[in-house]
Structure 1
Amino acid sequence: MNKTNLDLLKLIKQQDIQNQRELAELSGYSLGLVNRELKRLRELELVDAKFNLTSKAKALFKKNKPKNAVILAAGFGMRMVPINTETPKGLLEVKKEPLIERLIKQLQAVGITDITVVVGFMKEQYEYLMDDYQVKLAVNRDYATKNNFYSLQRVAGILGNTYIVPCDLWCKESPFDTDELYSWYLLGQEEVEQSFFRVNKKQEIITSDKRGKGNRPYGICYLTEKDAKAVAKQLNAAAAEERHEKSFWEVTLEDENRKYTVYPKLMDDATVFEINTYEQLRELDKSSSHLETDALQQISKALGVTLDEIVNIEVLKKGMTNRSFLFTCKGQKYIMRIPGEGTDHLINRKEESDVYRVLEGKQICDDVVYMNPDNGYKITAYLEGARSCDSTNKKDLQRCMAKLREFHQSKLKVKHTFDPFKQIEFYQSLWNGQSSYYKDHAEIQKKILGLKSFVEKYKAEPVLSHIDSVYDNFLFTKEGDIRLIDWEYSGMQDPHIDIAMFCIYAGYDRKQADALIDLYFEGKCEKMTRLKVYAYMAISGMLWSNWCEYKRTLGVDFGEYSLMQYRYAKDFYRIVQEELAKEEK
């Protein structure tokens, strides 16, 4: 059997068909094709001469009848900034109705009452659905670091005659039905530019690594029992493979020739809308209550513009501490920073605001247009054409170290201090009694805290230091200047800690660290000062390792970065001890 005769069989069941011409009109297939496929259905003993279903056909419908649905709602919805700081994507309202509620109602309207919602980000906000719609919730604890491959794998055991539905769709007409005869994946009817999907003449879905002219994918899928078992097997088998951490679950539908193993279901693009961005929501429903977010209200007030004048909103790469997005107002581009999870415990925004006041007008940092010392929201002018430092390029490193040295030599001062030893213990206190993931953590932290007497002995005059002076935070402007951004952790401290911070973020080994130290000190670094920078690398490694462990309690896992910082604590502590032992001989 094929898609065409199965489509015709479904129409015969659901419509009062009198003749082939009527069937052709309803299906959109040519009369010749209908005649040929109808003959095939009769040969298979599925339809009689009077367009009645046989018992064999009824058994086929029963076998493939939809039983349940899975709604995927675990992700951040990063492109929905700034809305996603307040509301998970599935609960965005269109025409005064949350997206996920509309989908649930459409499923229930065709008899699907067994509905599981896979949640993660802001999972508590979905809890009411259990009472109001009798759905079940499943939690994807890896939502912050892994893609929806793992959301579906979380419920792989319940797949079978199942609708799989993303939570970010608004469907004017329901894509669900009381009857299904084959597995399908929903695509738009019209061909669009910049698509990875194409439906060929054989009614096959072809995927590509390159964007081109094709059909818009909407993510809804129906899997019959047979295909669902194959997908579940792949999900479970591949879940442990690191290569799938960023995968969408749809990779399980592809064969070795990049064809989907399910048929396409084509829907009028004017009846289904995928909402990935603030502006897509605004385009669909200008009166949506979620358009008036706190972040946009602050932009409106700070820049003296209306909400409609805030356009071209585009998410930037998610930082380790914050979320940021680019936007345009009256032809000028800006960046809005929104504090990330747990930063109210990590950052003193009033102190950060004091730092920016000290830096104002000195051409050291980016141009701050607005800073809210209460909640940490910040607006800066976008540096068009700027690029980050290349940590492998010696010329870049020379210029960055010259800029850092110049900044330190200006001896700027603020009232607060960044004490790495106190912060190490403070970050650990935020774990709420949880143990470290590292077996020897207590022993290593005790050793690191013991370095305090050594660095104090050789400490340079405290000045305003950046503390988070990683290569990503050195921006080379198109005018030839360098700006140092992200001053959240800055405070009074030995400026040489900034060299150590650069090294451990760049992943430098001892030889590379020595080369950077020589650039900063212009080849004139005393031995004990060099050892002190090593010590700061160990101290900073423990600092950020504890920071990562706190963020992990919030569901944010930094993976290899966290492990790397812990190794710096251990390895450079050992190097310092070995070098000091040589000095004593």
Structure 2
Amino acid sequence: MTNKNYKVKTLNDSFVLRFPGEGTEKIIDRKNEVANVKAISNNEIDVKTLYINEETGIKITKYIENDETLNNNTAKEDKNLKLVSELLLKLHNSKIEMGNEFNPFYEIKKYEDIIIKNRYEFYKGYDSIRNKVFKLKKDLDTNLVPSHNDTLPDNFIKDKSGKLYLIDWEYSGMNNRFWDLAAYSLESELLDLEEDRFLKYYLNREIEEKDRLNLLINKILQDILWSLWTIIKENEGVDYGPYGIDRYNRGIRNLEKYTKGLIYE
């Protein structure tokens, strides 16, 4: 959704060549991406990066032959829920020092500033929703871990041996560990029972109220943030259909649950 990617085949090998998409220079910090890609390079979490340029955003990685990219159906499979939870736990507990923080409230403000500067239109009722969103800070866990921050199924690739990789580190940075878990649940459209299994695999214990609260808060923040992202991208000429407004409306619904204390629904 962010970039243009091409498979490049040579006589000896195949590669993936990435070119940044429209308007990415406004929303992606390439210096942070490059630093974080290098920081995780020895942990066998990402596919091997052969070249990355912090000025142009051009990136070249190894192409995995006979791979399987997770999708909304396979992401729900129990074996993949377990593999993803294990890989995220490996990342979060890795002690990798990422030099930047992915602060959702700062990111929301950054996207707001871009929208205001360019005189784009916010979704209806955004001002009142925004005030409620920023009150979520008081209940959010402040313990930060190295995080990917864009854990949709498409960013998980499995090779023919069954080893799972997590690609695309543009939004990476230190963050609340539940951000990655919430993103995977939202993007995979996990049902309640599937989400519970996923959380239990990750936590290796029973789910507590604080876990559900942090998960819900991160879901809300993500839907609001990526709805703002969509406004910017669409004003750059990219059409995402109902994606942005759907996320915005879901964020509002979850915000109402939070306000009413319905974190188990």
**Same structural fold, with TM-score higher than 0.5 when normalized by the shorter chain:** yes
Deviations 1:405-460 (A, max 9, x none): 12211121111111111111211221212221x322221122112111110xx33x
Deviations 1:321-358 (A, max 9, x none): 00000011232000000000000011111110000111
Contact 1:518 1:525 in 2 (8 A): yes
Deviation at 1:484, TM superposition (A): 0.4
Amino acid aligned to 1:453: K
Q: Tell me whether 1:577 sits opposite 2:253 in the alignment.
A: no
Deviation at 1:560, TM superposition (A): 2.9
Give the aligned CA root-mean-square deviation in angstroms: 1.8
Q: Within 5 A, what are the aligned runs for 1:201-240? A: none
Partner of 1:435: 121
Q: Within 5 A, what are the aligned runs for 1:337-486? A: 337-389=18-70, 390-431=74-115, 432-436=118-122, 438-455=123-140, 458-459=141-142, 461-486=143-168
Amino acid aligned to 1:433: R
Contact 1:351 1:416 in 2 (8 A): yes
Partner of 1:563: 245
Deviation at 1:574, TM superposition (A): 1.8
Partner of 1:495: 177
In the alignment, the residues of structure 2 paired with residue 445 and residue 540 of structure 1 have an alpha-carbon distance, to the nearest angstrom, of 13
In the alignment, the residues of structure 2 paired with residue 561 and residue 524 of structure 1 have an alpha-carbon distance, to the nearest angstrom, of 33
Deviations 1:77-114 (A, max 9, x none): xxxxxxxxxxxxxxxxxxxxxxxxxxxxxxxxxxxxxx
Deviation at 1:580, TM superposition (A): 6.8
In the alignment, the residues of structure 2 paired with residue 470 and residue 507 of structure 1 have an alpha-carbon distance, to the nearest angstrom, of 10
Contact 2:223 2:250 in 1 (8 A): yes
Instruction: Go from structure 1 to structure 2 and tell me whether the alpha carbon gap of 1:578 and 1:518 turns closer, same or farther (over 3 Å shift).
Output: farther
Structure number with greater CO (CA < 8 Å, separation at least 6) is: 2
SS class of match (1:525): coil
Instruction: Go from structure 1 to structure 2 and tell me whether the alpha carbon gap of 1:573 and 1:401 turns closer, same or farther (over 3 Å shift).
Output: same
In the alignment, the residues of structure 2 paired with residue 404 and residue 385 of structure 1 have an alpha-carbon distance, to the nearest angstrom, of 23
Deviations 1:196-227 (A, max 9, x none): xxxxxxxxxxxxxxxxxxxxxxxxxxxxxxxx
Contact 1:517 1:530 in 2 (8 A): no
Instruction: Go from structure 1 to structure 2 and tell me whether the alpha carbon gap of 1:493 and 1:357 turns closer, same or farther (over 3 Å shift).
Output: same
Deviation at 1:372, TM superposition (A): 0.6
Instruction: Go from structure 1 to structure 2 and tell me whether the alpha carbon gap of 1:333 and 1:468 turns closer, same or farther (over 3 Å shift).
Output: same
Deviation at 1:479, TM superposition (A): 2.1
Instruction: Go from structure 1 to structure 2 and tell me whether the alpha carbon gap of 1:447 and 1:521 turns closer, same or farther (over 3 Å shift).
Output: same
Deviation at 1:470, TM superposition (A): 1.2
In the alignment, the residues of structure 2 paired with residue 568 and residue 394 of structure 1 have an alpha-carbon distance, to the nearest angstrom, of 25
SS class of match (1:384): coil
Please identify runs of 4+ aligned residues in structure 1 that moved more than 3 A: 508-515
In the alignment, the residues of structure 1 paired with residue 134 and residue 94 of structure 2 have an alpha-carbon distance, to the nearest angstrom, of 30
In the alignment, the residues of structure 2 paired with residue 430 and residue 507 of structure 1 have an alpha-carbon distance, to the nearest angstrom, of 29
Partner of 1:527: 209
Deviation at 1:523, TM superposition (A): 4.0
In the alignment, the residues of structure 1 paired with residue 27 and residue 92 of structure 2 have an alpha-carbon distance, to the nearest angstrom, of 24
Contact 2:212 2:263 in 1 (8 A): no
Pick the aligned partner of 2:234 from 542, 545, 552: 552
Q: Point out the structure with the larger helix share.
A: 2
Contact 2:257 2:263 in 1 (8 A): no
Amino acid aligned to 1:413: E
Deviation at 1:512, TM superposition (A): 4.3
Contact 2:213 2:263 in 1 (8 A): no
In the alignment, the residues of structure 1 paired with residue 217 and residue 84 of structure 2 have an alpha-carbon distance, to the nearest angstrom, of 22
Amino acid aligned to 2:101: T
Whose radius of gyration is greater, 1 or 2?
1
Q: Within 5 A, what are the aligned runs for 1:112-261? A: none
Q: Within 5 A, what are the aligned runs for 1:38-49? A: none
In the alignment, the residues of structure 2 paired with residue 447 and residue 579 of structure 1 have an alpha-carbon distance, to the nearest angstrom, of 14
SS class of match (1:324): strand
Instruction: Go from structure 1 to structure 2 and tell me whether the alpha carbon gap of 1:326 and 1:447 turns closer, same or farther (over 3 Å shift).
Output: same
Instruction: Go from structure 1 to structure 2 and tell me whether the alpha carbon gap of 1:573 and 1:519 turns closer, same or farther (over 3 Å shift).
Output: farther
Amino acid aligned to 1:425: K
SS class of match (2:66): coil
In the alignment, the residues of structure 1 paired with residue 248 and residue 197 of structure 2 have an alpha-carbon distance, to the nearest angstrom, of 22
Amino acid aligned to 2:126: H
Q: Point out the structure with the larger strand share.
A: 1
Partner of 1:250: none
Under a length normalisation based on structure 2, what TM-score does the superposition of the two structures give? Answer: 0.92
Q: Within 5 A, what are the aligned runs for 1:278-297? A: none
Deviations 1:289-324 (A, max 9, x none): xxxxxxxxxxxxxxxxxxxxxxxxxxxxxxx10000
Instruction: Go from structure 1 to structure 2 and tell me whether the alpha carbon gap of 1:552 and 1:509 turns closer, same or farther (over 3 Å shift).
Output: farther
Q: Which runs of 5+ in 2 are unaligned?
A: none
Deviations 1:229-274 (A, max 9, x none): xxxxxxxxxxxxxxxxxxxxxxxxxxxxxxxxxxxxxxxxxxxxxx
Contact 1:386 1:476 in 2 (8 A): yes
In the alignment, the residues of structure 2 paired with residue 364 and residue 544 of structure 1 have an alpha-carbon distance, to the nearest angstrom, of 25
Deviation at 1:544, TM superposition (A): 0.3
Deviation at 1:557, TM superposition (A): 2.0
In the alignment, the residues of structure 2 paired with residue 581 and residue 412 of structure 1 have an alpha-carbon distance, to the nearest angstrom, of 31
Q: Which runs of 5+ in 1 are unaligned?
A: 1-319
SS class of match (1:493): strand
In the alignment, the residues of structure 2 paired with residue 568 and residue 409 of structure 1 have an alpha-carbon distance, to the nearest angstrom, of 30
